């Protein structure tokens, strides 16, 4: 098992040093963006989640009011409530990625 | 870059502890991308996940002791991967309701971003590439918790304790998941690894 671990680790780590230039450039850019975010004004950092919540509320309202199959009541669908936090995450991250 | 070197007795290797977050992020970004790429099968999603993880590190954890950055970073990364799995599940459900298929996944090789390194022996290079593809396929096929344990313990080289922190479970669970992952990989890769 130790030899397998060693071989796998070597192979996987070798792939890191051989990453293509375009991907490496995009990673550097991602790092720069992340580091620059600590210098963004607080108000603009708060606006993204606020917009995300507003979007999530609209999405949830549309789902509740949308017509379903005959006899189907979405409010009885327990998975809807379970997934509501994911709808919020969905909207928040869509807003974040687009920004 | 300002850093010091510490010893990781579990893997008999030295590891670098960075005093500067930018240096730390530069050191882990490639590995994080490949981990996410193997787990998600999509390079754009993997890049988004890595950037998101970096944002969390900068905004929430840059003032933490530097020796905590590694387990924190990979915990956030794995959590983001998990969140995207669940996000895709919800979107697939939406697609089912709306009657349109959703396919946000790219089935191409996670290591396709690995550049062709010029060499003198095409046969050796071809075998090396096939072996790497087999490894990525085998790791991607692992159950999610085994995959996490393998990536963190073997690929990143975190200790059992730090892996438990990153995975949010006990050290005993880490050992179990990791052992099972190695068993599965040994079986899947027996043609490539004879040890």
- Residue ranges per domain, chain A? 1-39
The pTM is what?
A: 0.69
| Backbone region of residue B51 per phi and psi (left: phi > 0; alpha: psi in -120 to 50; beta: other values) | alpha
pLDDT of residue B195: 46
Q: Read off the pLDDT of residues B49-69 as tens digits, 9 standing for 90 and up.
A: 999 999 999 999 999 999 899
The owner of tokens 């085994």 is B146
Instruction: Look at B30 and A90 and tell me if their CB atoms are within 8 Å.
Output: no
Closest CB to B114: pick one of A4, A15, A37: A15
CA distance A67 to chain B (A): 11
A91 close to A59: Cβ distance less than 8 angstroms: yes
* Closest residue in chain B to residue A29, using alpha carbons only: B51
pLDDT of residue B122: 76
- CA of B56: how far to CAs of A37, B27, B67, B79, B170, in Å? 10, 17, 17, 12, 24
| Mutation choice for B interface testing from A4, A49, A83, A97 by most B CBs within 10 A | A4
Task: Work out the pLDDT band at B190, boundaries 50, 70, 90.
Answer: confident
pLDDT of residue A83: 63
- Bridge partner list, B7: B14
Task: Give CB contacts under 8 A, 24+ apart, made by B14-19.
Answer: B15/B157, B17/B66, B17/B67, B18/B66, B18/B69, B19/B66
Backbone angles phi and psi of B6, in degrees to 5 = -125, 165
CB-based contact (8 Å) between B62 and chain A? Answer: yes
* Closest residue in chain A to residue B110, using alpha carbons only: A15
Q: Read off the pLDDT of residues B71-110 as tens digits, 9 standing for 90 and up.
A: 999 999 999 998 988 888 787 777 666 554 444 444 455 5
Cβ contacts (< 8 Å) between B87 and chain A: which residues?
A: 86, 89-90, 93
Q: Of the ranges A37-51, B2-16, B151-165, which one carries the lowest mean pLDDT score?
A: B2-16
pLDDT of residue B43: 92
B140 close to B85: Cβ distance less than 8 angstroms: no
CA distance A15 to B158: 19
pLDDT of residue B18: 74
How many CB atoms neighbour CB A73 within 10 A?
Answer: 8
Q: Read off the pLDDT of residues A55-84 as tens digits, 9 standing for 90 and up.
A: 767 777 776 666 655 545 554 555 555 566
Task: Work out the pLDDT band at B191, boundaries 50, 70, 90.
Answer: confident
pLDDT of residue B12: 45
pLDDT of residue A53: 75
Q: Of the ranges A34-43, B12-21, B26-35, B109-118, which one carries the lowest mean pLDDT score?
A: B109-118
């Amino acid at each position: 098992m130790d030899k397998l671990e060693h071989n796998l680790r070597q192979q996987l780590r070798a792939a890191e040093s051989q990453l293509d230039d375009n991907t490496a450039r995009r990673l550097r850019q991602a790092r720069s963006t992340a580091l620059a975010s600590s210098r963004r004004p607080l108000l603009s950092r708060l606006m993204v989640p606020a917009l995300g919540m507003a979007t999530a509320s609209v999405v949830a309202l549309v789902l509740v009011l949308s017509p379903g199959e005959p006899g189907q009541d979405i409010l009885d669908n327990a998975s809807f409530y379970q997934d509501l936090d994911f709808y919020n995450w969905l909207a928040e991250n869509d807003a974040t990625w687009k920004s | 870059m300002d850093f010091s070197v510490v010893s990781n007795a579990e893997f008999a290797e030295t590891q670098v502890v960075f005093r500067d977050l930018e240096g730390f992020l530069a050191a882990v970004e490639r590995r994080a991308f490949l981990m996410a790429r193997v787990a998600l099968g999509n390079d754009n999603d993997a890049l988004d996940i890595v950037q998101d993880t970096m944002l969390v590190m900068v905004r929430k954890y840059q003032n933490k002791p530097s020796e905590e950055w590694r387990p924190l970073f990979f915990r956030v990364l794995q959590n983001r991967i998990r969140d995207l799995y669940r996000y895709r599940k919800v979107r697939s459900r939406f697609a089912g309701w709306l009657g349109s298929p959703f396919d946000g996944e790219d089935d191409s090789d996670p290591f396709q971003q690995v550049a062709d390194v010029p060499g003198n022996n095409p046969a050796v290079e071809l075998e090396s590439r096939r072996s790497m593809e087999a490894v990525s396929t085998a790791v991607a096929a692992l159950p999610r918790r085994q995959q996490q344990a393998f990536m963190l313990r073997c690929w990143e080289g975190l200790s059992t304790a730090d892996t438990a922190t990153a995975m949010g479970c006990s050290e005993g669970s880490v050992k179990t998941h990791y052992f099972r992952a190695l068993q599965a990989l040994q079986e899947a890769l027996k043609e490539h690894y004879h040890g």
